Amino acid sequence: MTDYDIIHEVKEGIERIHYIPHRPNGAPPIVMQHGMWHGAWCWSHWQARLADLGWESHAHSLPAHGQSPAQRPLRWCTLNYYLTFLRAEIERMPRKPILMGHSMGGALTQWYLKDVADDLPAAVLVAAWNSHEMQSSVLNAMWRDPIGGLLCFANLMASPMVRSPWAVSQLLISQNAVISPESLAEQVGGESWWVLLQYNPLLWQPKKTPTTPLLWIIPEEDHAVLASTQTRSARFYNADVIRAPQAGHNVMMERDHQALADQIDVWLQTHIP
């Protein structure tokens, strides 16, 4: 028997999955922003463990992700567009939440802190896009899957990078993952190519000294966002770092996901007033 309730809804065009602990710890809720190809479903392991520890969490799916219906053609979705939905989810909370972003969700977290408000209790960047650019990581991913890269350029969509179980195993998870490549390939969806093209120094400059306390989770075997560039980005922001050895990009689906959630709990407990 679980020690929390799960509320799953699709309301006003947005899918939301809420984990409500029976014994809340009194801390602010956590808003969870997924990354490319994913939806609210990707957070389930961490939502369950954090709920056991007293944390209320709210994961949502961007339009055309998870069970959220498309509100514009996915091909023309941009980071600016996605940011409006993240902002709306944060504003729905009864008090300022903790923000947790995975991959592209980590980029949206950085955009939020720079362009919307830098006044959150804390932010957790999980295998997040780099502070300045993504070109080096994109080239690495294409080197591992050159056919997928060519298909992306031909279609102006990032969907070919997760077109098969083999492709997701190359990009998103390690051999230690608790989810199989076949199962993950069934759940991931399409994604715009423009979000990556938009994230470059001509269009984006990070905020040097955010006041929101930052924690960066770095999977050491990340093939989507290189661990070396994440390390430099964390140093740029002066963020605290937790490393996940032998873990892939979807670190919340890796073998040690529960231990990582416990480490996040400890860090939050020491940084939330």
Q: What is the pLDDT of residues 237-246, one digit of tens each?
A: 999 999 999 9
| DSSP tag of 109 | H
Residue 103 has phi, psi (to 5 degrees) of 60, -120
For the question of whether the overall pTM of this predicted structure is more than 0.85, the answer is yes
pLDDT beyond 80 at 189: yes
pLDDT beyond 90 at 247: yes
Q: How far is CA 133 from CA 34, 195, 203, 225, 271, in A?
A: 19, 12, 10, 10, 28
Cβ burial 121-131 (10 Å sphere, 16+ → b, else e) = bbbbbbbbbbb
CA 36 to chain centre: 8
Contact between 108 and 86 (Cβ < 8 Å): yes
SS3 17: strand
Mean pLDDT on 16-30:
97
Specify which residues 4 forms β-bridges with.
Answer: 21
- For 67-83, the DSSP string reads TPPPSS-GGG--HHHHH
Task: With cut-offs at 50, 70 and 90, classify the pLDDT of residue 111.
Answer: very high
Distance CA 264, CA 50 (A): 9
Which spans in 53-202 are helix H?
Answer: 79-92, 104-115, 135-144, 146-155, 165-171, 181-187, 194-198
The CATH code for residues 4-271 is: 3.40.50.1820
Per-residue pLDDT tens over the stretch 54-82? 999 999 999 999 999 999 999 999 999 99
Mean pLDDT on 157-165:
95
| DSSP tag of 7 | E
For the chain, give the mean pLDDT. Answer: 95
With 0-12 CB in 10 A as exposed, 13-18 as middle and 19+ as buried, what is 135? middle
Give pLDDT, residue 201: 84
Distance CA 177, CA 173 (A): 6
Task: With cut-offs at 50, 70 and 90, classify the pLDDT of residue 167.
Answer: very high
* Of 5 and 2, more confident: 5
